[in-house]
Amino acid sequence: MAAALTLNQSTIGKKAIMALTGIVLYGFVIVHMIGNLKIFEGPKGFNEYSHFLRVVGEPALPAGTILWVIRIVLIVALVLHVRAAIQLTRIDGAGRPIGYKKVKRKQASFASMTLRWGGAAIFFFVIYHILHFTTGAALPGFIEGEPYHNVITGFTTQVWAAPVYLVAVAALGTHLYHGVWSAMQTLGLNSPRTEKFFRALALASGVGLFAGFATVPVVILLGILK
Amino acid sequence: MKITVNVWRQKGASASGRLVKYQVDHVSPDMSFLEMLDILNQQLIAKNEEPVAFDHDCREGICGSCGVMINGLAHGGRLATTTCQLHMRSFKDGDEITVEPWRAKAFPVIKDLVVDRGAFDNIIRSGGYISAATGSAPDANSTPIAKENADLAFDAAQCIGCGACVAACPNASAMLFTAAKVAHLGLLPQGQPERKSRVMNMVATMDAAGFGGCTNIGECTAACPKEIGLHFIGRLNRDLLTATIAGGSAVE
Amino acid sequence: MTTETKPQVETRKPVEYTDARLNANVPAGPIEQKWSKHKFDMKLVNPANRRKHTIIVVGTGLAGGAAAATLGEQGYNVKAFCYQDSARRAHSIAAQGGINAAKNYRNDGDSVQRLFYDTIKGGDFRAREANVYRLAELSVNIIDQCVSQGVPFAREYSGYLDNRSFGGAQVSRTFYARGQTGQQLLLGAYAALSRQVAAGTVQLNERTEMLDIIIIDGRARGIVTRDMVTGEIESHLGDAVILATGGYSNVYYLSTNAMGCNVTAAWRAHKRGAFFANPCYTQIHPTCIPVSGDHQSKLTLMSESLRNDGRVWVPKMAGDSRSPDTIPEDERDYFLERRYPSYGNLAPRDIASRAAKMVCDNGLGVGPGGLGVYLDFSAAIKRLGEKTVRARYGNLFDMYERITGENPYKIPMRIYPAVHYTMGGLWVDYNLMSTIPGMFVGGEANFSDHGANRLGASALMQGLADGYFVLPSTIGNYVATGGYDPIDPAHPAVSEAVNAVKERIQKFLTINGTRSVDSFHRELGNIMWEYCGMSRTNEGLKKALTLLPALREQFWSDVRVLGSGNELNQELEKAGRVADFIELGELMVRDALERAESCGGHFREESQTDEGEALRNDDEYCYVAAWEHFGDPSSAILHREQLQFENIKLATRSYK
Ligand SMILES: Cc1cc2nc3c(=O)[nH]c(=O)nc-3n(C[C@H](O)[C@H](O)[C@H](O)COP(=O)(O)OP(=O)(O)OC[C@H]3O[C@@H](n4cnc5c(N)ncnc54)[C@H](O)[C@@H]3O)c2cc1C
Ligand code: HEM
Ligand code: HEM
Ligand code: SF4
Ligand code: F3S
Ligand code: FES
């Protein structure tokens, strides 16, 4: 605990908190993406999977326990991640109160320069997304416990839903294309020897997650899944 | 060659500044960038105008005094080149060049292109040394050091403290500078006893100076005239986290 | 020519008298024991009392930085000053090649005795034996100290320290850190200094220029400085003052020194009574990148190590405009190999420089203005392969290409000698104290250890020996003997010095002339290089003695310094330095004229052998010339410290 508090006192420590929470979130999106692909198994498979998430642990634990544990971990991670992001963004912005009249970049990637925009986009997307597919508040015709139906309805009846999702997952892919490598660097796991590996992992994560998530709205729009 | 320069002019620390356009004729491609500014200054003096102030000393890329943003790139953006070693043959006749000082909260402008980089010295003072009292040293060869480590330490030790890393970093972060010093000493056996407190204290001073944090963008390495590698930042992070988890604190 | 046919040179005989102030205070006893005995004999200051004593250290290069750090560590209250924005930027940072030490890690026959001998011989028998012996003795401690501070010297695969050989020595005793030895050593000293700043024992004043010294009751008790950012003129008082302000090569305008290197601190001290010794001894380094045009602001040194594999030549035919690679072998003159068959391209600096100048004077030089000779690696590339050459010299080749835009792997480099180091400086005794009691001088700023020529890799050694080991001991002794009362800041001597500085600044700002400071500096440089450069003649020196006072007068009536005194004003800074350089130039010329012999870096055309080699005259000139100021340089008085050679026999220095 003392270490965690001390961590929070330095920019590097805050970054480490971001990296650790980022990795938790990273783990979630990978699993979620794979889960989403179960949609190809049809309504049965997909709905059962969703149901499974809610009853796993039964009867040892009351229904929904594991799901809530996961949810709490995710919420805590997201809160810490965003908190550190906001704090660091402030510190970073204050680092250069007067900017250059002319500025060029040699090395910075689009991903590294848009980390904060991408992060914010993901944040708002998640809120919308939960209202959309989890609570249904943003989805007319939402049926509790039937995610297959909800997803198909969402993407087919709301024309703007798919573009929003595609933009969001593009932001996520970009965020992680820099983020995964960055997290390794932040945690000090990077070295000239591992450099190539982590860069490749970051690229694969970014592209893979984008492709994996994007598949669902795309195939639905193409009418392959109904 | 004829060159047009837009130079940041600012009378003093609290004065407001602006870019002023000057025409410099008779620029030879063999001139260094600073020699071009010399010519501009001679021109200004002849017209009874105050010359442009800029820091410089060795003019051979080692003292770290010089450094300006040239067309938006620290030291002009040529690989492994300081401003004083940049030559006018990198430009074309008729080019327009914008020259600005390093910009960072921790590097306030003193006058024109001159900034105060004292924050770097403060970082070193907070731990960038090995406490070895004069005269008490054992024979130099009593501790062999693997060549690999000695070479790596040297790579880090080459930093000239110019500040280009800060100037180029979108966050005005001083991580590369701090990382270079921490790595230099941390890689040597002599640097081990103070390794934990060193990194804790230096990072605390760095943060307190008002530099931004690092988002691992890498502009710093690209601008660094001594090509200090980004992996040293990874090493700094590792050292800091290890020290923190081991219960170090910033005021030892 | 032999010594009997001594050149006929008429010199003005200045008034001289022997002076108790010129006592070198060399301790008695055998040379091997002098220093340890002296250390034992010196008085100590009680550690608890040290912080009551303020020591002022001007300069944070190797000498000043090391001294300030060590004195701080010992507990003194130290105030250190430098003109750069950070102590780490002192010009020592630029030294490339290495640092000598008689460690004998190679077991190749090195010893303190041999380093002592090489340094005395290299200095052409114009240095004080006892100081040089101590330097050789301390050299070994320096390496230990630096390694323990974390200086990353080059190592072998075994993990032990590597050595290389350097000009003027037959053993491998040079320690190095790639091509950046000075940088690494200075960063070590700077780190030690930073540690003391953090501990509160050293108060560091950057961007602060010393402009005068305060003398009270015949002792140095403080300095006057200008804050280069605010323009504030301040006095700083203490028990002793150390000047470690570097060399004055910039009197030539073009040199390998940093742009800010200056003689101001030393010159101000000279004007207040410190004797200036051997001002005419300057070192010209043979391998520098030639001047490319009038815009040139400084010269860049290429490490001497290049001469290990590069061959120096010029075309045999004057005005040969063919591209060098098309000139056939038998139409080239490898003049160093021809004239010095045993040392060849590795002849010592002064000799190699003069040989290059000679061929250029004969119209055989290459490149713009005919001021250059080729340094050719084609044979080495053929023999070793481009890869090996790249591994050895890659960074130097890159630097050359960056500056000249030419690729040295394809066409030979062009090099020309350039002013690099000044052996002369303020006169000091064995304790490194000047003729002003309480004012000590270390590093390149003093005259002490290199005689008339410095060997490569010996300046860093001297700076650190002075800073880490000599000054901290001798200052302690001085302070312990003293019992000097604190000075009242309102003392008339303090305000006199402060006002003098203020008036001088005001003077610069109000001349309102037509010429820039740089234009005067350039003109001074041309005069010095022409008449007091690589070779000097009676006639030329006399000519210079008419040109310099005229230049001085013109400067003081026609210089234009814009802006004000209470802000960062780089023209004002330069004006002060150039004004001092002009006066120093005159003293250098007088010293060169006075010394009608050739020795080391000082070559008088009247004093040479039939083969054109330097001819020393030990009967008449085996002394240190120490000049005392009297109003202006033309009336300075020469004092002589006779040099005694008891341990090494005076001999002709030959590298044939
Ligand atoms: C390019 C080059 C390469 C060299 N290579 C080698 C080498 O390989 N080996 C070797 O042994 N030697 C070498 N030398 C020589 C050696 O570097 C110098 O002689 C030595 O470093 C001088 O150290 P120093 O401490 O006396 O002075 P410097 O390092 O010059 O320091 C002078 C200090 O005094 C301060 N100062 C000066 N004037 C004032 C003032 N008026 N007020 C306040 N502060 C002032 C400056 O700020 C600075 O801190 C080289 C020299 C050059 C130029
Ligand atoms: C196109 C891609 C996506 C589809 C089709 C999709 C689909 C779904 C569905 C159907 C649910 C409800 C599951 C259930 O209630 O059982 C859900 C929940 C969720 N999704 Fe997505 N999702 C996508 C992208 C994303 C992305 C990119 C993120 C995050 C960055 C995300 C984060 C979440 C979260 C946090 C939940 C709530 C989990 C919970 O119940 O606590 N989703 N998603
Ligand atoms: C599913 C959601 C998210 C995942 C998987 C994720 C992942 C990551 C990862 C791995 C990093 C790298 C950390 C490092 O460099 O050490 C990172 C950095 C960052 N994230 Fe996120 N993030 C997510 C959501 C967000 C959100 C919602 C925000 C925004 C508000 C955000 C803002 C940032 C910022 C600003 C950084 C850079 C921090 C820095 O390097 O200083 N992220 N993210
Ligand atoms: S790390 Fe590079 S850019 Fe930064 S101060 Fe050091 S040398 Fe300059
Ligand atoms: S550019 Fe800045 S963000 Fe980090 S990697 Fe370099 S300090
Ligand atoms: S002036 Fe020294 S590095 Fe440029």
CA of B76 to the centre of ligand 1 (A): 28
A5 to chain B, minimum CA–CA distance in Å?
10
Q: What is the pLDDT of residue B249?
A: 55
Q: Which long-range contacts (CB under 8 A, 24 or more apart) does C41-49 make?
A: C42/C473, C42/C474, C42/C476, C42/C477, C42/C480, C43/C476, C43/C477, C43/C480, C43/C481, C44/C476, C44/C477, C44/C480, C45/C476, C45/C479, C45/C480, C47/C74, C47/C75
Residue nearest to atom 1 of ligand 4 (CA): B177
From the CA of C300, give the closest atom in ligand 1. 1
Q: What is the pLDDT of residue C303?
A: 85
What angle do helix axes C129-149 and C112-122 make, rounded to 10 degrees?
A: 120
Q: What is the pLDDT of residue B248?
A: 58
| CB-defined contacts A:B, below 8 A | 156
Give backbone dihedrals phi and psi of C396, rounded to 5 degrees, phi first. Answer: -70, -40
Three-state helix/strand/coil letters over C82-116: CCCCCHHHCHHHHCCCCEECCCCCCCCCCCHHHHH
Our answer on whether C and B touch (3+ beta-carbon pairs < 8 Å) is yes
Statement: residue B21 has pLDDT above 50: yes
Of B120, B139, B158, nearest to C180 by CB-CB distance is B158
From the CA of A71, give the closest atom in ligand 2. 41
B149-204 confidence digits (pLDDT tens) = 999 999 999 999 999 999 999 999 999 999 999 999 999 999 999 999 999 999 99
What average pLDDT does the segment C157-183 reach?
A: 89
Q: Per DSSP, what are the bridge partners of residue B109?
A: B115
Grouping H, G, I as helix, E, B as strand and the rest as coil, residue C320 is: coil
Complex ipTM above 0.85?
Answer: yes
Amino acid in the structure at residue C397: F
CA–CA distance from C388 to each of A89, C309, C391, C395, C400 (Å)? Answer: 49, 11, 5, 13, 18
Q: What is the pLDDT of residue C14?
A: 46
CA–CA distance from A173 to each of A68, A78, A161, B63, B167 (Å)? Answer: 26, 17, 18, 43, 29
Q: Does A182 sit within 8 Å of B238, measured CB to CB?
A: no
Q: Which among A25, A51, A26, A27 has a CA at the least distance from the CA of A38?
A: A51
Q: Which among C399, C607, C476 has a CA at the least distance from the CA of C40?
A: C476
Statement: residue C13 has pLDDT above 50: no
C404-449 confidence digits (pLDDT tens) = 989 999 999 999 999 999 999 999 999 999 999 999 999 999 998 9
Residues of A in contact with B237 (CB under 8 A): 12, 15-16, 185-188
Q: Is the peptide bond before C152 cis (omega within 30 degrees of 0)?
A: no
Q: Residue A55 corresponds to which tokens in the numbers above?
A: 């009853």
Q: Which among C480, C476, C407, C470 has a CA at the least distance from the CA of C441?
A: C470
Q: Which among A198, A159, A158 has a CA at the least distance from the CA of A179?
A: A198
Percent of chain C with pLDDT over 70: 96
* CA distance linking residue A179 with residue A199, whole number of Å: 10
Is pTM beyond 0.90 here? yes
Pinpoint the alpha helices (H) of B82-225.
Answer: 118-125, 147-157, 164-168, 175-186, 195-208, 219-223
On average, the pLDDT of chain A sits at 94
Q: Which among B90, B92, B93, B116 has a CA at the least distance from the CA of B103?
A: B116
Farthest CA pair distance, chain A: 65
8 A C-beta contact, residue B212 and residue A93: yes
8 A C-beta contact, residue B241 and residue A184: no
What single string gives the DSSP state of each residue in C414-448?
EEEEEEEEE--EE---TTSB-SSTTEEE-GGGB--
Q: Residue C241 corresponds to which tokens in the numbers above?
A: 């003052």
Q: Per-residue confidence at B108, pLDDT binned at 50, 70, 90? A: very high
What average pLDDT does the segment A90-111 reach?
A: 95
Q: Per-residue confidence at A59, pLDDT binned at 50, 70, 90? A: confident
Q: Residue C492 corresponds to which tokens in the numbers above?
A: 């008339």
CA of A151 to the centre of ligand 2 (A): 10
Given the structure tokens 């070192």, which residue do they identify? C283
What single string gives the DSSP state of each residue in C247-288?
--GGGGSSSSS-TT--SHHHHHHHHTT--EE-TT-EEEEEEE
Statement: residue C62 has pLDDT above 70: yes
What average pLDDT does the segment C237-266 reach?
A: 98
A6-41 confidence digits (pLDDT tens) = 788 899 999 999 999 999 999 999 999 999 999 999
Q: Per-residue confidence at C133, pLDDT binned at 50, 70, 90? A: very high
Statement: residue B227 has pLDDT above 60: yes
Please tell me which residue in C219, C332, C349, C454 is annotated as part of the active site.
C349
Q: Per-residue confidence at C1, pLDDT binned at 50, 70, 90? A: very low
Pinpoint the alpha helices (H) of C445-569.
Answer: 459-464, 471-482, 492-511, 517-532, 538-558
Amino acid in the structure at residue C360: C
8 A C-beta contact, residue C76 and residue C473: no
On average, the pLDDT of chain B sits at 96
A74 to chain B, minimum CA–CA distance in Å?
23
Q: In what order do the strands lie in the sheet with B18-24?
A: B18-24, B3-9, B96-100, B69-70, B73-74
Q: Does B116 sit within 8 Å of C149, measured CB to CB?
A: no
Length of chain C: 656
Three-state helix/strand/coil letters over B123-144: HHHCCCCCCCCCCCCCCHHHCC
* CA distance linking residue B47 with residue C286, whole number of Å: 39
Q: Which of residues 127-146 of B touch C (CB under 8 A)?
A: 128-141, 143-146
* CA distance linking residue A19 with residue A11, whole number of Å: 12
Give yes or no for residue A216 CB within 6 A of ligand 2: yes
Q: What is the pLDDT of residue C67?
A: 98
* CA distance linking residue C118 with residue C458, whole number of Å: 11
Q: What is the pLDDT of residue C4?
A: 38
* CA distance linking residue C525 with residue C257, whole number of Å: 13
CA of C204 to the centre of ligand 4 (A): 23
B129-146 confidence digits (pLDDT tens) = 999 999 889 999 999 999
What average pLDDT does the segment C282-308 reach?
A: 91
Interface probe for C, chosen from B27, B50, B63, B112 (most Cβ of C below 10 Å), is B63
Which run of H or of E encompasses C213? Answer: strand C208-216
* CA distance linking residue C116 with residue C101, whole number of Å: 11
Q: What is the pLDDT of residue C5?
A: 40
B38-67 confidence digits (pLDDT tens) = 999 999 999 999 999 999 999 999 999 999
Q: Per-residue confidence at C6, pLDDT binned at 50, 70, 90? A: very low
8 A C-beta contact, residue C286 and residue C417: yes
* CA distance linking residue C341 with residue C346, whole number of Å: 10
Neighbours of chain A (3+ CB pairs under 8 A): B
Radius of gyration of chain A (CA): 20
Give yes or no for residue A13 CB within 6 A of ligand 3: no
